[in-house]
Amino acid sequence: MDTREVLTQLKNGEITVEEAELYFRRQPFEELGYAKLDTHRKLRSGFPEVIFCMGKVDKHLLEIFGRLYEAEGEVMGTRAAKEQYELLKEQYPEISYDEVSGIVKIEKTDKKHIGCITVCTAGTADIAVAEEAAQTAEYFGAHVERVYDVGVSGLHRLLSRLETIQKANCVIAVAGMEGALGSIIGGVVDKPVIAVPTSVGYGANMKGISALLTMINSCANGVAVVNIDNGYGAGYIAAQINRLGEAR
């Protein structure tokens, strides 16, 4: 629960003064010994903590997932292996898993999705990173349009979806190889573009460094860049921008 929910429930007599007081007495984080769960992050930033599943041992993942679910009524994890999903599913049968992006989540069913973020990829090999971005933004309450496989080797494909791209509050451009997609989109929209370099490409792509350097050196205005394969980071920032756009 957030502060407003606690106060609303107190006002409606759904919880006691003592229960509300207990909520506000909690630390800004929950100490687990091996981890400190940032349970007040939503109060500060508007978005709750998300779990990075890769590298976590099973018992830690299970406890962190359960504590965040209990605190927020929903929970999301990124970079989850199928084995981790199967582990979580034994305890939380309602959990969903997307094998493409590696996202596991239990999501509130009454969530509203506002505004518009468009997620574009240069090729189909970039979709895993793009889906991490798209589903992150959706989890944080944004409406997302997907425009996939519109790279610069066939510019007409991108131009055929220009109306969808231009109407968005923010555009995410996901590309490997030479990473030119961010610059192309930056030149045809009046909204922020978040470029995501991917590790897709042949040897000289250097596991995404080539695309990263292209995007950082873009001559198009309004293009910002996140780390290689960082779909989550792009989706988070896009959700923040989208909120600002809808608040106008």
User: Percent of the chain beyond pLDDT 90?
Assistant: 65
Q: Is 102 exposed, middle or buried (0-12, 13-18, 19+ CB in 10 A)?
A: buried
154 pLDDT band, cuts 50/70/90, is: confident
**pLDDT(36) > 80:** no
What is the DSSP code (8-state) at residue 224?
Answer: E
Q: Decide: 192 and 241 in contact? Cβ < 8 Å.
A: yes
> What are the structural domain ranges in the chain?
3-106, 114-247
pLDDT of residue 138: 96
Q: How many helices (H) and strands (E) does the chain have?
A: 11, 11
pTM over the 0.95 mark: no
Collapsing DSSP to helix, strand or coil, 64 comes out as helix
Residue 213 has pLDDT above 90, yes or no: yes
At 178, is the secondary structure helix, strand, or coil?
coil
Rg, Å, the chain Cα set: 20
Name the 3-class secondary structure at 96: strand
Binned at pLDDT 50, 70 and 90, residue 46 comes out as confident
Provide the pLDDT for residue 238. 97
* pLDDT score recorded for residue 58: 93
Q: Is the pLDDT of residue 49 over 70?
A: yes
Query: pLDDT-based confidence at 37, cuts 50/70/90?
Result: low
**What is the predicted pLDDT for the residue at 110?**
86
* pLDDT tens-digit readout, 155-201: 889 888 999 999 999 999 999 999 999 999 999 999 999 999 999 99
Q: What is the pLDDT of residue 29?
A: 63
pLDDT tens-place string over residues 86-103: 999 999 999 999 999 999
Has residue 1 got a pLDDT over 80?
A: no
* Average pLDDT in the chain: 89
Instruction: Please tell me the predicted confidence (pLDDT) of residue 15.
Output: 85
pLDDT band at 71 (very low <50, low <70, confident <90, very high): confident
**Range with top average pLDDT, 1-15, 59-73, 85-99:** 85-99
For residue 118, give every residue at least 6 positions away whose Cβ sits within 8 Å of its Cβ, in sequence order, or none.
144, 145, 146, 147, 164, 165, 167, 168, 170, 171, 172
- The b-or-e profile of 205-218 (16+ CB within 10 A means b, else e) is bebbebbbebbeeb
Mean pLDDT of 35-51: 71
Q: Phi and psi for 93 in degrees, rounded to 5? A: -60, -20
| Spatial contact of 66 and 35, defined as CB atoms under 8 Å apart | no
H or E stretch at 243: helix 231-247
The CATH number of 114-247 is 3.40.50.1970
